[in-house]
Chain A
Amino acid sequence: MFLLKPINKMWRGLTVFGRVGLLILVLLIFMAIAAPYLTWQPHHASSGPSLAPPGGAHLLGTDELGVDLWAQICYGARVSLIVGLGTALLAGLGGGIVGTFAGYRGGWSERALMRLIDIMIVMPDLPVMVVLAAFFGSSLRNIILVLALFSWSYPARIVRAQVLALKEQAYVKIARSYGAGALYIIFRHLLPELLPILAVSMIRLAGMAIVTEASLAFLGLGDPTSRSWGLIINHALNFRGIYFTPYWKWWLLYPWVFLTLLVSSLALLGRDLERIADPRVAKG
Chain B
Amino acid sequence: MLVKGVKKKNCWHVALVFALFLSLLAGAAGCGGKPEPALGAAVPAPATPPPGEVAEGKAAPREPLVIRLEGGDWGYCSPFTHYPRGPGIFKMQLIFDSLLERGEDGYIPWLAESWEVQNDGKTYLFNLRQGVKWHDSREMTADDVVFSINYYQEHPPVSIFFGDVLRDPEYLLEVTAVSKYQVRFVTAGPNATFLPAAGLARIIPKHIWEHVDNPQEYLEAEAVMGCGPYRLTGYSKEHGTYRFEAFEAYWGPKPRVDIIEFVPVSDNVLAFEKGEIDLTEVPADLLPRFQNNPEFAIKENPGFWGYRLIFNYERNKLFQNRELRQALAYAINRQELVEKIGRGAAIPGNPGILSRHHVWYNPSVPEYAYDPERARQILQQQRLAGLSFTLLVGQDREVRIGELLKEQLARAGIQIQVESVDMKSRDARIREGQYEIALVGHGGWGGDPDYLRTRFASGLSDWYSGTPGYHNSRVDELARRQILETDENKRRALIFQLQQELALDVPEIPLYNTTGYSVYRPAKYDGWMYMFDHHALSHSKLSYLDWK
Contacts and interface: CB of A to CB of B under 8 A. Distances in A.
A134 interface: yes
A238 B285 contact: no
Interface in A41-58: 44-46, 50
Interface in B219-263: none
Nearest to A231: B399
Contact of A244 (B286, B339, B400, B420): B286
A241 B286 contact: yes
A66 interface: yes
B340 A65 contact: yes
Nearest to A238: B396
A44 B269 CA distance: 32
Given A134-B422, A225-B418, A64 B289 contact: no
23 contacts: A45-B407, A46-B404, A46-B407, A50-B339, A64-B340, A64-B341, A64-B400, A65-B341, A65-B400, A65-B404, A224-B395, A224-B399, A225-B399, A225-B403, A225-B418, A225-B420, A238-B397, A240-B283, A241-B282, A241-B285, A244-B285, A245-B285, A245-B286
A45 B340 CA distance: 13
B269 A244 contact: yes
A95 B148 CA distance: 68
Interface of A: 44-46, 50, 64-66, 134, 220, 224-225, 235, 238, 240-241, 244-245, 247
A139 to B, nearest CB: 11
Interface string B277-292: 0000011011001000
Contacts of A244: 269, 285-286, 289
A284 to B, nearest CB: 45
Contacts of B400: 64-65, 235
Interface residue tally on B, bucketed by range: 20 to 34
Contacts of B397: 238
A21 to B, nearest CB: 34
Interface residues of A, dominant DSSP: loop
Nearest to A242: B285
Nearest to A64: B340
Contacts of A50: 339-340
A241 B283 contact: yes
Contacts, number: 47
A235 B404 CA distance: 14
Interface string B402-424: 01100100000000001010100
Contact of B420 (A45, A66, A224, A240): A224
Nearest to A66: B340
Contacts of A44: 403
**Residue with the highest number of chain B CB atoms closer than 10 Å, among A238, A244, A245:** A244
Contacts of A225: 399, 403, 418, 420
Contacts of B340: 46, 50, 64-66
A220 B395 contact: yes
Nearest to B404: A65
B419 to A, nearest CB: 9
The 4 A-B residue pairs with the shortest CB-CB distance, nearest first, are: A240-B283, A224-B420, A241-B283, A224-B399
B57 to A, nearest CB: 38
B396 A220 contact: yes
A65 B408 CA distance: 12
Contacts of B339: 50
A134 B422 CA distance: 9
Given A50-B340, A225-B418, A241 B269 contact: yes
Nearest to A51: B285
A66 B403 CA distance: 12
A202 B395 CA distance: 33
A65 B339 CA distance: 9
A240 B343 CA distance: 10
Given A225-B399, A241-B283, A241-B286, 9 more contacts: A46-B340, A46-B404, A65-B340, A65-B403, A224-B395, A235-B400, A240-B283, A241-B282, A245-B285
B108 to A, nearest CB: 34
A240 B395 CA distance: 15
Nearest to A245: B285
Nearest to A227: B403
B288 to A, nearest CB: 9
B400 to A, nearest CB: 6
**Residue with the highest number of chain A CB atoms closer than 10 Å, among B285, B289, B418:** B285
Contacts of A45: 407
A236 to B, nearest CB: 11
Contacts of A65: 340-341, 400, 403-404
A241 B284 CA distance: 9
A192 B285 CA distance: 59
Nearest to B396: A238
Nearest to B343: A64
A125 to B, nearest CB: 21
